[in-house]
Amino acid sequence: MMISRRSYLLPTIILLCITYALFSNLPPGAEPPNAHNHLYQQYATDPPPPKEGRTRWRKHVEQYPISDYIPLPTSATSPIPRIQYDFPRESWFARWGRVKRQRAVKKAFQHAWKGYKDNAWLEDELSPLTGGHRETFAGWAATLVDSLDTLVIMGLMDEFEEAVEAVEFIDFTTTNAIQINIFETNIRYLGGLLGAYDLTHGRYPVLLKKAVEIADMIYGSFDTRNRMPQSRWEWTRSAGGLKIEPGRNTILAELGSLNLEFTRLSQLTNDPKYFDAIQRITDFLEESQEKTNVPGMWPLMVNAKDLEFADPRFTIGGMADSTYEYLPKEHMLLGGQTSQYRKMYNSFMKALKSHLLFRPKTLDGRDILFAGNMRVSEPSNGKETLEPQWEHLKCYLGGTVGIGAKVFDRPEELSIARKLVDGCIWAYDVMPTGIMPEVLHLTVCKNRENCKLSKSARTGKTTSDGKKLPPGVADIPDAKYLLRPEAIESVFIMYRLTGDTLLQDAAWRMFQNIERMTRTSYGHAAISDVRDPESPQMDYMESFWLAETLKYFYLIFSEPDLVNLDKYVLNTEAHPFKRPTAASQ
């Protein structure tokens, strides 16, 4: 039977009239259902109100100008070997299962992104329990910038373009912060802008424009007598034409983890000043690497003012981590055009294997590895103290050693990398929540031929607060989970290096447990105790949850050519930079 268009046009008009009558009489401040209660619609067309009365950064004459910049290297060296496994064509059933997992990760991201967009747009972080926001990294919309390339990777291009429009309005010339953390600004903001620019093949020039803007500001932190940066930069002094000094207690990672971002910016702009800035740090680290109390490594704290190392603590964990992570990665980004990073990595690995690696005792005696901390007094008395401490931050190490084994042609160390990755998976699996804590201590296996726990130790200890420790875990000083990415980072990298689908299964267990324990109405929240399946949540969702953790979970269930490791190198905040030369096949 034919139905005339008029016959259902009339009811439609009536419905529209009723809707208008209802919503045009809403009380002041009310919004119709599904209306977005956020600022992003306004800022898509109009800039935010100006921040009056603040000190602003402007380019100025340097106190200690450079007369001759160190250029990017151009000498040819041997090609970098291929990194990624040669994945076979997958079956339809394998693809169905993989895509199903991938979609679950994407839904988790969309949930958290909506919470940020609706409640904390252009702020640094969402408070996932209350729906508020926090200013943590100078107030420059850290979560927005940090998440740009994740939006691209997940195919959320409408959301990405909204975010790119908002980036234009971020004012990098001023902040409420008295000091600017150069490391965090570098990896999150500069890295986020460059990663999104590279991943979209330069189609959004505003991203490079804003990258230069933030880089030119923090470049001011290098204007010191020895050109070492003031890592917690007193930026208003520099803006006022006053001198600054690097710190006598500078965190190693904050000094040694600026390479990738500044190098990539020099590659994209052909301006050598950025590479010059970080190359002076690298030359200092290389020159001093064999002169510390643990030759091949640097202590936790550096006297960047006097270029000295007095700290007796050595670790590959927090406050040191990305300095070592960047050794093979900078080699990749430079296309292998210098042997400097190969030399530094070789020296580091010798020290790591000699001093810090250990095998723990477990129920089944499995062959896994961890890296402890070491306190070393003057080498003359030869006293070394190993602390069998492991932390979630250290889980990056398996991926780093795996990459190093490939790019520096050290195939015998791929097994070490796998044992480190398996150690992190084990630390997830043995916890009642299926999530690894922030810090734990392990039981060292001194006889590597037999690492099974004794019968008396197989029940696990009970702590003073009545919590039972998993067998093999000696203590858990910090039981929180802060939504960190390092474990899934290395699981992802090892999967891309080996093609072992058991790693995808481990990642899926990790994701399901994290999603279950951390999901809130507004996003995802850190939890206070991974030993408690009913752990309270914390009103805390750092930008790396969207920038790193969910990105790595998504990528491990993606087709292997998405962010191919032979084409991109990922910075310590998981931002992909294009490698300038193709890997050899």
Residue entry with tokens 């009310």: 30
Q: Which helix (H) or strand (E) is 402 found in, with range?
A: helix 396-407
List the structure tokens of 367: 């062959």
SS3 label, residue 251: strand
Is the distance from CB of 473 to CB of 442 less than 8 angstroms?
A: yes
Query: Using one digit for the tens of pLDDT, what is the confidence trace for 112-125?
Result: 999 999 999 999 99
Record the tokens describing residue 387, joined without a space: 């602390």
Q: What is the dihedral of CA 271, 138, 569, 68, to 10 degrees?
A: 20
Closest Cα to residue 529, out of 459, 441, 443, 435?
435
Q: Tell me the residue type at 130.
A: T
pLDDT at 40: 42
Catalytic residue among 162, 486, 489, 529: 486
Burial 418-429 (b: 16+ CB within 10 A, else e): bbbbbbbbbbbe
Q: Is 438 assigned a catalytic role? A: yes
Largest CA distance in the chain: 99
User: Catalytic site residue 387?
Assistant: no
- Residues 285 and 540: their CA atoms lie apart, in Å, by 35
Instruction: Mark the binding-site residues for Ca(2+), compressed into ranges.
Output: 572
Residue 195 · residue 188 · CB < 8 Å: no
**Strand-pair partners of 83:** none
Q: pLDDT-derived band of residue 521, with 50, 70 and 90 as boundaries?
A: very high
Q: How confident is the model at residue 385 (pLDDT cuts 50, 70, 90)?
A: confident
Cβ–Cβ < 8 Å for 183, 231: yes
Instruction: Tell me the two tokens of residue 294.
Output: 């643990």
Rounded-to-integer distance, Cα 84 and Cα 296, Å: 28
- State mean pLDDT over 420-425: 98
Note if 449 is an active site residue. Answer: no
Which residue numbers belong to the known binding site? 572
As a whole number, mean pLDDT of residues 190-197 equals 98
Nearest one of 157, 162, 122, 129 to 543, comparing CA atoms = 122
Q: Helices H, strands E: what count in the chain?
A: 21, 16
Rg of the chain on CA atoms, in Å: 25
pLDDT tens-digit map of 57-100? 988 889 999 999 999 998 866 789 999 999 999 999 999 999 99
**Tokens 């927005």 label which residue?**
144
- Do 230 and 246 contact (CB within 8 A), yes or no? yes
Residue-range domains of the chain with CATH:
70-452+473-578 (1.50.10.10)
Dump the DSSP string for 175-233: -S-SSEEHHHIIIIIIHHHHHHHHHTTT--HHHHHHHHHHHHHHGGGG-STT----SEE
Residue 29 has pLDDT above 90, yes or no: no
pLDDT (tens digit per residue) in 445-486: 998 778 999 877 777 777 767 788 999 999 999 999 999 999
Strand partners of residue 440: 390
Is 486 one of the catalytic residues? yes
